[in-house]
Structure 1
């Protein structure tokens, strides 16, 4: 066992995705508090301060949140002896990785995807920097449980192959940031926490898949490359006109598609109807107005194109599972709780 406090490179061997937390706990000689589904490692004072929490969702899937500042540079050689698919979000910190002659540098407020197998990764986190990192780890085979048929399975295989052997940056979005915040600040306990964390983790994967192009199209529709480009143009127009949505006829004319191909092609390519995308954009923007600009419910409804506040409330409840006033109240309670915790 290396002496704590001396700058050395520690070795971690990962034979399944759950090994990393246990191996890291051993090499830093840390103490772990256990609950039914969670393990919380308190970082020993010679190593640094803070904690790492691991939530085991099920065999083959876990969520890890690190909130740590190291006393010395933390250098690890991680032997990935199994297949791993990992989505991560760096809230704060600086992480350097090197593997197979490749390099990756992660800084604050960046999202990444890792898909590795049978490779050694060198990882370094600098001392004196507050590292906050959320990681969703899965065995790649876990994703195939969500494939409905052979075509969808092939689509997932192609998706994984695109990132195999890499650590790639993922485009950020307000939806991803909010999902990460929900995971980090989850207030549920026990079974409810596990259910909530799993649902949010899958939401994160779905958001990444949407950005990264995991869409299944129906070959019977015979979409050509220029059709795909026009559907992309339609999506951009929908997003930019969410307050005063264009009609299907207007949208079809602007992008040069007939109405049938526009509606059916859009749903198959993006997994939602045009109306559902409009509603999502409106709800996300309304939530931003209430959270950031402190608008009340009526003001937020008007700002995103609703003349009737009751219609807005109905749509908000369908999208988020609660009324907007209740959501704002929960948000304020969480802010107060975090304020008390910081004190």
Structure 2
């Protein structure tokens, strides 16, 4: 099933999606008909400038959601929280390449409303994600910063095009579960939801505040798609360190631009991003209990197991052997 829409500040996803599947929205809730699957989409508005949409369903066929540039610039920003228990693909053209799964927690996306994107949800998979839509001036008033960092000026300023990815912490995952459990029909349900969504945003912007304060480079859909492709290249083979000159050719960008845009978007240098993914993969394999420390190290391209152990301990506070025993 393909659903295409143009992004705009007054666009209501749930209402238009309901028309697309021939259903009605009642009290902010759209129930998925049995013919398509099961589950729901729920929208909760906290005013004209701030709302949240919860998606929780399993569909019988693949769902492709294409968001087109609505030509409204930076009138609205969206924050997507993709639960890592699902498998989905994201792209900024028609060929989704970035997969989020149980091994990858990079599942929060902050974007201006002028970037086109495609999200592909496979059939027969549990889909659970949250979208927060908020207007920049309202967000700026919420943050209430006396001396905001450059990244906050970019997000809350006028006319900026941006795309940021952040990791999803355990605390964020817990709040998402709490949000899903809120009974909005209770007398204080709406109030509870409002508090939890603001807490969710606080955790995200606390993470973003840790980034270096650099001059923002404007980004478009072509740049965004190339960056996602580069990210995919970086983590496609975790036994081989990335080579910047080769990635630059693939991205059709100068090395300088690629380095700047990658760090701006993902919050890390290309090599550090690779090492982080490498260690996460090592932790994942050690948790399975089917690989020895040596097997994990060699599989990830380490010829010196002492170096592997030191690097792993730097990330996780335990050497691989102790980590595997405690997992």
TM-score under structure 2 length normalisation: 0.54
The alpha-carbon deviation at position 96 of structure 1 amounts to: 1.5
The 8 Å contact of residues 78 and 113 in structure 2, kept in 1 or not, is answered as: no
| 1:66 is aligned to 2:66 | no
Instruction: For structure 1, list consecutive stretches of 5 or more residues without a partner in the other structure.
Output: 1-6, 218-343
Q: Which residue pairs with 1:165 in the alignment? A: 162
Q: Which residue pairs with 2:101 in the alignment? A: 107
Q: Which residue pairs with 1:14 in the alignment? A: 7
- 1:153-208 Cα distance to aligned partner (Å, 9 max, x none): 866214568x943252x223222122112111113535522211111111111111
- Which shows bigger deviation, 174-183 or 108-117? 108-117
The structure whose RCO (Cα within 8 Å, separation 6+) is larger is 2
Secondary structure of 2:197's match? helix
Change (3 A) 1:97 1:174: closer
Q: Which residue pairs with 1:185 in the alignment? A: 181
Pairing of 1:74-93 with structure 2 (within 5 A):
74-81=63-70, 82=72, 83-90=76-83, 92-93=85-86
The 8 Å contact of residues 14 and 20 in structure 1, kept in 2 or not, is answered as: no
The alpha-carbon deviation at position 31 of structure 1 amounts to: 2.4
Change (3 A) 1:132 1:146: closer
The 8 Å contact of residues 13 and 19 in structure 1, kept in 2 or not, is answered as: no
The 8 Å contact of residues 139 and 156 in structure 2, kept in 1 or not, is answered as: no
The 8 Å contact of residues 17 and 137 in structure 1, kept in 2 or not, is answered as: no
1:131 pairs, out of 127, 134, 150, with: 127
C-alpha root-mean-square deviation of aligned residues, in Å? 3.1
Secondary structure of 2:148's match? helix
Paired positions, count: 204
| 1:95 is aligned to 2:92 | no
Change (3 A) 1:80 1:45: farther
The alpha-carbon deviation at position 129 of structure 1 amounts to: 0.8
Residues in 2 aligned to 1:147 and 1:134: alpha-carbon distance in whole angstroms: 20
Secondary structure of 2:168's match? coil
Change (3 A) 1:211 1:126: same
The 8 Å contact of residues 63 and 134 in structure 1, kept in 2 or not, is answered as: yes
- In the TM superposition, structure 1's runs of 4+ consecutive aligned residues that sit over 4 Å from their partners are 100-103
Residues in 1 aligned to 2:145 and 2:164: alpha-carbon distance in whole angstroms: 28
The alpha-carbon deviation at position 144 of structure 1 amounts to: 1.1
When you count strand as a share of all residues, which structure comes out higher? Answer: 1
Residues in 2 aligned to 1:10 and 1:189: alpha-carbon distance in whole angstroms: 29
| 1:55 is aligned to 2:44 | yes
Residues in 1 aligned to 2:65 and 2:41: alpha-carbon distance in whole angstroms: 16
The 8 Å contact of residues 77 and 112 in structure 2, kept in 1 or not, is answered as: yes
The alpha-carbon deviation at position 40 of structure 1 amounts to: 0.9
Change (3 A) 1:74 1:87: closer
The alpha-carbon deviation at position 100 of structure 1 amounts to: 5.5
The 8 Å contact of residues 70 and 129 in structure 1, kept in 2 or not, is answered as: yes
Q: Which residue pairs with 1:30 in the alignment? A: 23
Change (3 A) 1:172 1:150: closer
Secondary structure of 1:172's match? coil
Instruction: For structure 2, list consecutive stretches of 5 or more residues without a partner in the other structure.
Output: 214-327
Change (3 A) 1:185 1:112: same
